[in-house]
């Protein structure tokens, strides 16, 4: 619950109301790293949140990049939102971290994969760079994670100063995010082939029910 409070505080600082924030994983009792095993449950819990919107303009989700297994599953769910409500724009993906071309536990932060297509870049004003970096420190319960992430996030935001988005493509779900072993595979977070098979079954069942 401590992380929930931290998230609400950070999102509130960005102008997001608490009533618009839904911790579906927590509500459904889904543990970290177990989203693929609870895909149907999570999507069913998302439905009453999304359907009242009637339509959405754009959807934003973590990239399909093989970094954390749950991130790839959230990417899948985001691509399936259009089965619940019309999406008038696009599903956009943003890189968090991945291990493309690196050994063992090493990873790159905020490094979009070329396999995910054309990059759309938007500059971040200096005042916002400082603000966003401060907000990264709003998760004291996650300090161990941020010890590894923050130096790289600092470089990306403070020095490069840009957002990078890529349009998500549902056909990519049948392809490995990148050649070689994925970071979550090396960390014991499951195998890509398992994700691919579950994703294919899920999308087939979803299309059959429409």
pLDDT, tens digit (0-9, with 9 covering 90-100), for 159-169:
999 999 999 99
Q: Rounded to an integer, what distance in angstroms lies between the CA atom of residue 150 and that of residue 19?
A: 29
Instruction: Tell me what pLDDT residue 209 has.
Output: 74
Q: At what angle do helices 192-209 and 39-50 cross, to 10 degrees?
A: 50
Domain boundaries, the chain: 56-122+168-210
Phi, psi of 164 (to 5 degrees): -130, 120
pLDDT > 70 in the chain, percent: 100
* Residue with token string 């008038």: 88
Instruction: Determine how many CB atoms are found less than 10 A away from the CB of residue 115.
Output: 15
Indicate the pTM of the whole model: 0.95
């Amino acid at each position: 619950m401590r992380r929930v409070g931290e998230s609400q505080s950070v999102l509130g600082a960005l102008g997001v109301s608490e009533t618009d924030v839904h911790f579906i994983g927590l509500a459904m009792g889904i543990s970290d790293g177990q989203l693929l095993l609870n895909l149907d449950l999570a999507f069913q819990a998302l439905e009453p949140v999304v359907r009242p919107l009637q339509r959405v303009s754009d959807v934003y989700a973590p990239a399909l990049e093989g970094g954390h297994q749950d991130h790839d599953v959230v990417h899948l769910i985001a691509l399936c939102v259009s089965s619940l409500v019309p999406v008038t724009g696009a599903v956009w993906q943003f890189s968090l971290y991945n291990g493309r071309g690196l050994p063992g536990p090493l990873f790159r932060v905020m490094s979009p994969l070329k396999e995910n297509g054309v990059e759309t870049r938007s500059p971040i004003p200096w005042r916002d760079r400082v603000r966003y970096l401060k907000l990264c420190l709003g998760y004291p319960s996650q300090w161990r994670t941020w010890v590894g992430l923050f130096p790289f996030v600092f470089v990306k935001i403070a020095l490069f100063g840009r957002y990078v988005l890529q349009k998500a493509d549902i056909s990519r779900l049948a392809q490995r995010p990148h050649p070689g072993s994925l970071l979550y595979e090396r960390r014991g977070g499951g195998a890509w082939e398992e994700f691919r098979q579950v994703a294919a079954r899920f999308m087939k069942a979803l299309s059959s029910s429409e």
